[in-house]
Structure formats: structure tokens, C-alpha cells
Amino acid sequence: MFMIWKLLPLSLLFLVCTSYAQSPNTTFSGRPIRVIAPFPPGSAGDIIPRAISPAANEALKQMMIIDNRAGAAGSIAAEIVARAAPDGLTLLFGTTGVLAINPALYPKLPYDPVRDFAPVARVATSQYAVLAAPTLPIKTLKDYIDYARARPGELNVASSGVGTAVHLSGELFHSMTGIKVVHVAYKGATEAITDLMVGRVHIMFASLSSAIPFVRSGKVKVLALTGSQRHPSAPDIPTVKEAAVPDYEASGFFGYLAPVGTPPAIIKRLNEHINFALRQTEVKDKLASFGADVATGTPEQFTAIIRTELAKWTRAVKAAGIQAQ
């Protein structure tokens, strides 16, 4: 009888802990979830998780705090999460660049996008815009292709940096169309667009969020968007595949990842509540306001997307002949 009473508290403790881990309405430990953002405040990799956090906090009944760890093209942030405890309290806000482009560019990364992370949820996608200087005598994407083919190597194409998603989107486009241009890398989108407005560079591939204010003000021309379909915020702008290159498509993706080894129950709980947050009107509206689209799904679907995009951008890097610097 003594042994029964002695073991009873342990049995009850086990049941309580099991219920605690499985319940979608409880916290992991009362501590906040730290979301490591790989880029500085104001970038898409920072704005998107900040737009999601309030609704996610409410759904999880637990704080998600954004911790910006910029540097090394996102590798610093990714390494922090890859080495973190797999307890659901440290997440990476992953991007196309960090998960699909860096591995193609840098052979000695301190992390592996497939081996070191457990995908939780893809949350958004974004298109890129093909912009032209107002001084360039063209009106459409087809005009640009014809104009550039007649002047091989004479036109400058700007991007926000070597090896970025926008840079490689341009390289993919030019390799598919056989156009020879000169790439000009800037330290950020703002500097590049400033030079585009005055004609110092001729063409630019930019994130839709960076391009929208300048397109709306008429300071640059927009020739096309790079996604698979027209964007709701700009229904009059054709896609590249509509306008000139049927097989072309390029877009960015964003999502949360945990360290590998994080228990499936925690991954499932995070996925459910993040997806709940994404279905809220205020979150959709915030993301749409800067050119991003909500994208819900399962961890398994996000895993498949990462593998597909990794293969795609590896091919693009090789085709462009880009060397890591």
C-alpha cells in the first residue's frame, strides 16, 4: 500500500506534463519565443514577422519576440538557431536567401538548410518587380528585351546586392532571354532605386515592397512582376510569363523554422497557431500593404518547398556563374 501511494504522485505528474505538452492553449514554459530575424529592422525579413506577431501572441498565449541578427547574408541568424536547444523557444524566420540561395553560393556555411532545421510553417510569399528608368525609351517588357538584344552589354541592371534573391531573379531572366547586361550591385534597394530614377542604371529587379512607393509616384516604370500570377495590389501589371517568357517564375518565400530535433508536438502546435494568426484579416492586410501574400500550410509542405527552391536557385547560381565573395 505504501508503494502505491508513493508512486501515485509521479503518475499524476506524468499525466499533468503530458496534458501540458499536448494542449494547444498552454505555454511551453512561460518564457517568450525568440524569433531570430536574419536581416535588419525595416527589411521584409523583419517587417513580416512583426506583422504576424500580435495575432500569433494572442493565439499562442505566449510572446513571440523578434531578435534581429543581421550579417553574413543571414548566416549569423541561421547558425544561432541551428545551435539552439530544440525546445520550441528559439525559431528562425527563414527567407529564400537564407534557405535556398546561400547554400548555392557559399560552400562552407555554418548551417545546412535541410539537415539543421525543422520547418514549422511557411507564412508568406513575395513577388519581384522589373523596373525601368524613366529615361529608357521603352514601355513594355517585350520592348526591353528587343532594346537590350540590340545593345548587348550596354545596359546596366541594378540589384540590392550580389547573390540576393532579386539579383538572381534578374540573372535567371537574362539567361532565359539571352540578354547580355552589366550587373551593378548596391548595398540596398533604396540606393539602387535612387539611381534608377535618374537613369544612372537602366533596369532593376526589386522586391515589390521596395518598388510600390516609387511605382505609385510614377518615378520609375514597372514592366512586369515575376510571380506565377498577377498581384491583387497591382492587377494591371502583367507577369513576366504573360508578357514575354512563358516558362519564367521567381518569387520569395518566408517562414518559421525550429532547430532539428524539436518534438513533433511542439512543431504541430506552433504551426496550428501561426496558421490561425495568418487567417486574421488584419494580418492579411498588413502583409498585402507591402506586397506580400499570406501562405499557410503544413510543416511537410514547407519542407518540400525548401527542397524545390534550393534546387531551383542552385541551378540559377550555376547558370549565372556567380562566385562567392
Write down how long the chain is: 325
Of the ranges 2-11, 96-105, 183-192, which one carries the lowest mean pLDDT score?
Answer: 2-11
Q: Does residue 29 carry a pLDDT above 70?
A: no
Band of residue 8 on the pLDDT scale cut at 50, 70, 90: very low
Q: What is the pLDDT of residues 140-182, one digit of tens each?
A: 999 999 999 999 999 999 988 888 888 899 998 998 999 999 9
Of the ranges 18-27, 70-79, 305-314, which one carries the lowest mean pLDDT score?
Answer: 18-27
Return the C-alpha cell found at 128: 519581384
Residue ranges, CATH 3.40.190.10, the chain = 127-243
Instruction: Using a pLDDT cut of 90, give the percent of the chain over it.
Output: 62
Determine the pLDDT at residue 255: 97
Listed in sequence order, the residues at least 6 apart from 207 whose beta carbon sits closer than 8 Å to its beta carbon are 44, 126, 128, 129, 166, 189, 252, 291
Determine the pLDDT at residue 213: 80
Residue 247 carries which side chain, given as an amino acid letter? D
Listed in sequence order, the residues at least 6 apart from 197 whose beta carbon sits closer than 8 Å to its beta carbon are 133, 134, 214, 219, 220
Q: Does residue 267 carry a pLDDT above 90?
A: yes
Determine the pLDDT at residue 39: 84
Residue 84 CB coordination number (10 Å) = 17
**In angstroms, rounded to a whole number, what is the distance separating the alpha carbons of residues 130 and 223?**
5
| Architecture of the domain made up of 34-125+251-320 | 3-Layer(aba) Sandwich (3.40)
Q: What is the pLDDT of residues 97-150, one digit of tens each?
A: 999 999 988 888 999 999 999 999 999 999 899 999 999 999 999 999 999 999
Listed in sequence order, the residues at least 6 apart from 173 whose beta carbon sits closer than 8 Å to its beta carbon are 130, 179, 205, 226, 240, 245, 248, 250
Of the ranges 208-217, 228-237, 283-292, 306-315, which one carries the lowest mean pLDDT score?
Answer: 208-217
15 burial level (CB within 10 Å; 0-12, 13-18, 19+): exposed
**In angstroms, rounded to a whole number, what is the distance separating the alpha carbons of residues 90 and 33?**
6
User: Which has more confidence, 5 or 80?
Assistant: 80
Strands 203-207 and 156-159, bridge-based pairing: parallel
Residue 260 carries which side chain, given as an amino acid letter? V
**What Cα–Cα distance (Å) separates residue 183 from each residue in 131, 162, 197, 255?**
14, 9, 17, 29
Residue ranges, CATH 3.40.190.150, the chain = 34-125+251-320
Band of residue 28 on the pLDDT scale cut at 50, 70, 90: low
User: Which has more confidence, 11 or 42?
Assistant: 42
Phi and psi based region of residue 70 (left: phi greater than 0; alpha: psi -120 to 50; beta: remaining): beta
| Architecture of the domain made up of 127-243 | 3-Layer(aba) Sandwich (3.40)
What number is the average pLDDT over the span 229-246?
90
Determine the pLDDT at residue 210: 76
User: Which has more confidence, 30 or 271?
Assistant: 271
Q: Does residue 94 carry a pLDDT above 50?
A: yes
Determine the pLDDT at residue 40: 81
In the block, residue with C-alpha cell 500580435? 54
Backbone angles phi, psi at 200, to 5 degrees: -70, -30
Band of residue 25 on the pLDDT scale cut at 50, 70, 90: very low
Task: Answer for the pair 254, 292: CB distance below 8 angstroms, yes or no.
Answer: yes
Residue 136 carries which side chain, given as an amino acid letter? L
Query: Chain-wide mean pLDDT for the chain?
Result: 87
